[in-house]
């Protein structure tokens, strides 16, 4: 049997700013917090953009929609701070109904031009099924689509949204795109040293987790990959596109 070729590590040599575009509060913490923690430790400024307001993320009828929105903002800011994130942007689209509309694409493009990240991290836009027991949330898929539609062709093309130039937001081209959930990742990042902090950031989302002690052990067991020496290592994997 041929040996598997190990996936390469990340290239962050000239990276100063990163924008993470996700659907819901808690999505960045589940998908890429280990990577973000490493980036922040290297002095890279990371911003989270949460596209929806998360107002459907609880089944408790005693919590109102507005209470849940406020609660989830507090939780996401606490989780982001724990991971060393510079800022969190809440775009406020209704949970469950995210689409790549003209309005949200313009708002996201404006933020890309304002922040001027070298890297954007976003979900895979075509991931419908996960394993044998989970249907991927439509907002997750559409968050990827919103990100891609805003990156190209809009963000670096002056013919799109020329009024932004008057605001000082000039066209910007990212150098790398990290896509989570791709079935054929091109890099993996060993987050074994960050896994405990990643889990603590997830546990900030108290409105989403009913049994945190059980969740902690369950996640470690589910995410850990056994090595030849019997130890467990933890990874976040991405398909990476590079642009010149």
Report the pLDDT value the prediction gives residue 1, as an integer from 0 to 100.
39
Interacting residues of 161 by C-beta distance below 8 A, sequence separation 6+: 106, 109, 110, 154
239: nearest Cα among 177, 194, 197: 177
Interacting residues of 146 by C-beta distance below 8 A, sequence separation 6+: 21, 51, 98, 100, 104, 105, 108
pLDDT digits (tens, 9 = 90+) for 159-200: 999 999 999 999 999 999 999 999 999 999 999 999 999 999
Q: Give the number of other CB atoms < 10 A from CB of residue 97.
A: 11
**Could you tell me if residue 214 is inside a domain?**
yes
CA distances in angstroms from 197 to 79, 192, 202, listed in the order given: 10, 10, 9
Burial of 220 (0-12, 13-18, 19+ CB in 10 A): middle
**Could you tell me if residue 11 is inside a domain?**
no
**Which CATH number do you get for residue 176?**
3.40.50.10320
Report the pLDDT value the prediction gives residue 132, as an integer from 0 to 100.
87
Contact in structure between 143 and 96 (CB atoms under 8 Å): no
What's the pLDDT band for 227 if we cut at 50, 70, 90?
Answer: very high
**Could you tell me if residue 9 is inside a domain?**
no
Query: Per the structure block, which two tokens stand in for 22?
Result: 């996700």
Report the pLDDT value the prediction gives residue 17, as an integer from 0 to 100.
98
In the predicted structure, residue 2 carries a pLDDT above the cut 50: no
SS (H, E, C) 124-170: CCCCCEECCCEECCHHHHHHHHHHHHHHHHHHCCCCCCCHHHHCCCC
pLDDT digits (tens, 9 = 90+) for 113-161: 999 999 999 999 999 998 888 899 999 999 999 999 999 999 999 999 9
Q: Which domain holds residue 161?
A: 17-242
**Could you tell me if residue 215 is inside a domain?**
yes
Bigger pLDDT: 218 or 40?
40
**Could you tell me if residue 198 is inside a domain?**
yes
Query: Per the structure block, which two tokens stand in for 43?
Result: 């002095």
**Could you tell me if residue 2 is inside a domain?**
no
Report the pLDDT value the prediction gives residue 111, as an integer from 0 to 100.
98
**Could you tell me if residue 213 is inside a domain?**
yes
Average pLDDT, the chain: 94
Query: Per the structure block, which two tokens stand in for 170?
Result: 């000039």
pLDDT digits (tens, 9 = 90+) for 4-55: 556 677 999 999 999 999 999 999 999 999 999 999 999 999 999 999 999 9
- Entry pTM: 0.94
Domain count, the chain: 1
**Could you tell me if residue 5 is inside a domain?**
no
* Rounded Cα–Cα distance for residues 75 and 38 (Å): 21
């Amino acid at each position: 049997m041929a040996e598997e070729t190990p996936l390469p590590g990340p290239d962050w040599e000239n990276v100063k700013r990163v924008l993470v575009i996700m659907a819901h509060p808690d999505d960045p913490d589940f998908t890429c917090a280990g990577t973000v923690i490493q980036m922040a430790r290297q002095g890279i400024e990371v911003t989270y953009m949460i596209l929806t307001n998360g107002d459907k993320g609880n089944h408790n009828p005693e919590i109102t929609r507005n209470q849940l929105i406020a609660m989830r903002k507090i939780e996401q800011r606490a989780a982001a701070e724990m991971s060393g994130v510079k800022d969190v942007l809440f775009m406020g689209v209704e949970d469950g109904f995210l689409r790549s509309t003209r309005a949200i694409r313009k708002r996201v493009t404006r933020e890309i031009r304002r922040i001027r990240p070298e890297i954007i991290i976003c979900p895979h836009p075509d991931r419908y099924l996960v394993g044998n027991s989970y249907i991927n949330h439509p907002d997750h898929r559409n968050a990827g689509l919103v990100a891609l539609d805003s990156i190209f062709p809009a963000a670096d093309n002056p013919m799109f949204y020329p009024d932004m130039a008057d605001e000082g937001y000039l066209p910007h081209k990212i150098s790398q795109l990290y896509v989570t959930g791709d079935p054929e990742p091109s890099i993996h990042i060993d987050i074994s040293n960050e896994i405990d902090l990643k889990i603590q950031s997830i546990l900030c989302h108290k409105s989403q987790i009913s049994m945190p002690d059980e969740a902690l052990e369950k996640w470690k067991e589910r995410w850990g990959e056994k090595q030849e020496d019997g130890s467990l290592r933890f990874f976040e994997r991405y398909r990476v596109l590079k642009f010149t």
